[in-house]
Structure 1
Amino acid sequence: MPAAQPISVKAFINERKMSVFQIRTLVLCFLILVLDGYDTVVVGFIAPVLKSHLGVSPVQFAPVFGAGFFGLAIGSFLFGPAADRFGRKTTLICAVLLFGLFSILSSQASSIGWLIALRFVTGLGLGGAMPNVYTLAAEYSPERMRSTLIAPLGCGISAGGVLGGLVAAHMIGHYGWQSMLLLGGVLPLLLSVFLFIWLPESASYLLTRGRQSKARAIIQRIEPKTPLGGTTFTLDEEPAQGFPVSHLLRPGVRGGTLLLWVTGFMALLAVYFLGNWLTILIQESGMPFDRASRMTALYLAGNGLGALFLGYLMDRLNPQYVVAGAFLCAAICLASFGHLTGVPALALVALFLTGVGTGGAMTGTSILSTGFYPTATRATGVAWTLGMGRVGSIVGSMIGGVMLAAQWAPKFMFAVVSIPIALAALSVYGLALYRRRNSGLVSTVLSAQ
């Protein structure tokens, strides 16, 4: 009998409905990001009590936040190439164990110096988890609904922050600030056990490493009723040689990589500026604190709901145009917001749309990066896009204080921060043009989702 024709693993996944196996994989990825989100913001909840416990001023405590942000950036840069070399599952479990263990150790910190060091290492694990979650999820999602499936994962970060807010008052009041860090450590360690048992390695990654039998065994779990005995699976991609980061800057891909980096940097600069300073700036505009808090909550809701809405549109329209349009809308709304505070209804709409086009569009940018790079360098590409974004987040967290110290008016500050959002829109539009011009020239650049 003639040998069976090789089957593309992408085609196999694309031609079938989502299986229980794939859905379980996405649920595990979501849970990772929930705990990632909790551990990212937990210090903010315990900061007032922790400052008193350590006997430090707010200025002395600020490096604790900075160390976490810096660790997030470095973690993104390190764990992406690690995943392309050692596998998505292995790297994800290591990242989860790292931030879980060091969250527990942080609860025992006896000095501000130790806490800064421990939060930096915790940040390494947190920064390494998110890009690899997106990468693994993309490799088990059919391309026709990839954005729709991945976008909700980004809401896991917000859900983790909400979880922290819900339990903070009770836990800190009854068990002390240490309990928040202990919870943020124990839950990831428990989850890592389930990840070890149930989280699959990427079948696409295994094929890049020539592990045909292991890849076939995992693919069999997608459709257990179809015998795949001697079936050979292929990727239809050229294997990458050498250090993965170098492939992000090779001819035919370099321009798209730089555009994704600019987008990530500009987007998270704006997201973290607004996340840290929005309530204060709304108050400076003359709003009472309770209204300012509700308006900030509406902005954050726009982040999460925007990710879902944009993910849905990205699977049905040109994804670059969807993300670019969202960024552009956010830039216009934020620049206008400072002039709309006297018209509350319009101000609320503008702020919600700003959330859709900043946090929501940043999730869209991560999804774009999963579709831009081939399997062999996908984790590195996604991680470095997010890593550049993390650098932007550090800048965004700092410039608000600089602007306030210079006594800039809130209206002017909102207008200034709308500029990076507009640049993100321009970069994503440039990515659409770049992909159109290069899609027929370089086989390793994937076509639009």
Structure 2
Amino acid sequence: MNPTDKSINVQTLLNESRITAYQWATYALCFFIVLLDGFDTAMIGYIAPSLIQEWGVSKPALGPVLSAALFGLAAGAISAGPMADRLGRKRVLVGSVFLFGVACLASAFSAGIEQLTILRFITGLGLGAAMPNAVTLTSEYCPESRRSMLTNAMFCGFPLGGFLAAWMIPNFGWRSVLMLGGIAPLVLGVLLFVILPESVRYMVVKRWPVERIRAVLARIAGNKVLAAESFHLQEASSAEKPAGSGMGVMLSRQYRVGSVMLWLAYFMGLVVFYALMNWMPILFKDAGIEPRTATLIAALFPLGGVGAIFFGWLMDRYNANRVIALGYALTAVSIWAIGQVVGNVGWLMTVVFVAGTIMNTAQSSMPALAAAFYPTQGRATGVAWMLGIGRFGGIAGSFLVAELTVRHLSAEAIFTVVAVPGLIALVALLVKEFAHPASAASAGSERDRNSAAIASH
């Protein structure tokens, strides 16, 4: 339908309206989903030394339990993205949160390594489905001028979750973190069901009744929407917009190269992240650092992710691909530096924190980059597949360090090897920019085009 004076462009309305308490509530709920993901992701690395002591398992035997949730995360994300583009963001999000809550709570009562591995996989299925939908829903309620910053701010919950896990284990035991990791999402799931709205952009694309769309937008823009007879989006011209399912959009000629480069960059980032998250406490302990100190130093690594807000601000104003690529370049240097100072606790604390700040800032910025890259009809699928395929990088990272320890490499050599994927991620983002120069422009360019299109009507 051609836009008329009685038809409102939803994104323009969001751009021109102040952010309301209704939107902040949506952002907050998605923030807590990411916090729980960070809590769950970090806990297993901190639990590992306790499993070795209590169950007598060897370090190489920890590989399956450390990576089980990652297989689930990959499977959950890859399947849930297309599902959310068909059924809606909220429906899939609520179901997935309940799934990982039940599975994580059951994990607290595991009697052995095999049972824990199975339950970690199921937990991962739920988390994998929840994360991309939280990213997509947040992005689709943001004004374009602040989309990257707000989406990245949501990911600050990820490192906070890891820090909480590191604090709980020495004080309450490893089963306590699994219990909290199960109860919290069950409570959150109820809140999501009652409070969380469906994506208004999704409702427009799927041609939901005007009354339902108007009811949501009235919570944001008030009386501005009362006279509207219809709502529309203007994301691209009809000649440019790929048709079909979310998969069709993601793999279309227009988006194919960018999709593959997003997968590669996120994959390599998670090779680094999970290699360090799962193994740093053990590597530091083997280097002669007291176990409690080793755990607390390792906890500084995910705590550094708060820099994502600054990167989001930069991404909203400058070339987002180049901003994140620089982050990955600095990641490679800082990870290498950890291996150079592992014998000095003071310097180690500083370098681990700096490395974590840079690494998590770059990696946490990737979902916002993907969400801005795809149109609404393929956004959940595009974000989910990047997150899902990227999770295999986490699996590779976990097994990479396991193999390096079997080969008896020094800590310095291990950190040097782990730094290399950061350079590969850098190259991938530069290739994406070269293949899709228009998508690398700042969000302001698209805002200008949308404003001009609306003004013409």
Both structures adopt the same fold (TM-score exceeding 0.5): yes
Q: Give distance in 1, aligned partners of 2:448 and 2:161.
A: 34
Gaps of 5+ in 1: none
Q: Give distance in 1, aligned partners of 2:373 and 2:90.
A: 21
Compared with structure 1, are the counterparts of its residues 54 and 409 closer, same or farther at alpha carbon in structure 2 (3 Å cutoff)?
closer
Q: Give distance in 1, aligned partners of 2:192 and 2:295.
A: 37
Partner residue in 1 for 2:262: 260
Q: Deviations over 1:226-268 (max 9, x none)?
A: 3524342101246865442232121121110111011011111
**Which range moves more in the overlay, 39-48 or 215-224?**
39-48
Indicate which of 218, 224, 227 corresponds to 1:226. Answer: 224
**Which range moves more in the overlay, 17-26 or 232-241?**
232-241
Whether the 8 Å contact between 1:4 and 1:231 is mirrored in structure 2 is no
Report how many residues are paired.
439
Q: Give distance in 2, aligned partners of 1:264 and 1:380.
A: 15
Alpha-carbon shift at residue 357 of structure 1 (Å): 2.9
Whether the 8 Å contact between 2:8 and 2:231 is mirrored in structure 1 is yes
Q: Give distance in 2, aligned partners of 1:321 and 1:55.
A: 47
Alpha-carbon shift at residue 40 of structure 1 (Å): 3.5
Find the residue that maps to 1:413 and give its secondary structure: helix
Compared with structure 1, are the counterparts of its residues 116 and 447 closer, same or farther at alpha carbon in structure 2 (3 Å cutoff)?
farther
Gaps of 5+ in 2: 451-457
Partner residue in 2 for 1:206: 203
| Residue identity in the other structure for 2:409 | W
Q: Deviations over 1:313-340 (max 9, x none)?
A: 2222221111111111121233344345
Find the residue that maps to 2:72 and give its secondary structure: helix
Find the residue that maps to 1:183 and give its secondary structure: helix
Partner residue in 1 for 2:93: 92
Find the residue that maps to 1:230 and give its secondary structure: coil
Find the residue that maps to 1:421 and give its secondary structure: helix
Alpha-carbon shift at residue 437 of structure 1 (Å): 5.9
Find the residue that maps to 1:338 and give its secondary structure: helix
| Residue identity in the other structure for 2:233 | L
Q: Give distance in 2, aligned partners of 1:58 and 1:417.
A: 18
2:187 is the alignment partner of 1:186? no
Compared with structure 1, are the counterparts of its residues 203 and 406 closer, same or farther at alpha carbon in structure 2 (3 Å cutoff)?
same
2:239 is the alignment partner of 1:249? no
Percent identity among equivalent residues? Answer: 37
Q: Deviations over 1:87-112 (max 9, x none)?
A: 11001001101111222333444454
Q: Give distance in 1, aligned partners of 2:115 and 2:346.
A: 47
2:387 is the alignment partner of 1:390? no
Alpha-carbon shift at residue 52 of structure 1 (Å): 7.4
Whether the 8 Å contact between 2:46 and 2:295 is mirrored in structure 1 is no
**Which range moves more in the overlay, 198-207 or 224-233?**
224-233
Q: Deviations over 1:340-371 (max 9, x none)?
A: 55788776655444223322101111110010
1:71-82 matches, within 5 Å, as: 71-82=72-83
Whether the 8 Å contact between 1:268 and 1:389 is mirrored in structure 2 is yes
| Residue identity in the other structure for 2:268 | M
**Which range moves more in the overlay, 337-346 or 148-157?**
337-346
2:101 is the alignment partner of 1:104? no
Q: Give distance in 1, aligned partners of 2:55 and 2:343.
A: 42
**Which range moves more in the overlay, 20-29 or 292-301?**
292-301
Find the residue that maps to 1:233 and give its secondary structure: strand
Q: So what's the TM-score if we normalise by structure 1?
A: 0.87
1:314-353 matches, within 5 Å, as: 314-340=315-341, 350-353=351-354
RMSD of Structure 2 on Structure 1 (CA):
3.2
Compared with structure 1, are the counterparts of its residues 47 and 258 closer, same or farther at alpha carbon in structure 2 (3 Å cutoff)?
closer
Compared with structure 1, are the counterparts of its residues 370 and 163 closer, same or farther at alpha carbon in structure 2 (3 Å cutoff)?
same
1:128-147 matches, within 5 Å, as: 128-147=129-148
Partner residue in 1 for 2:454: none
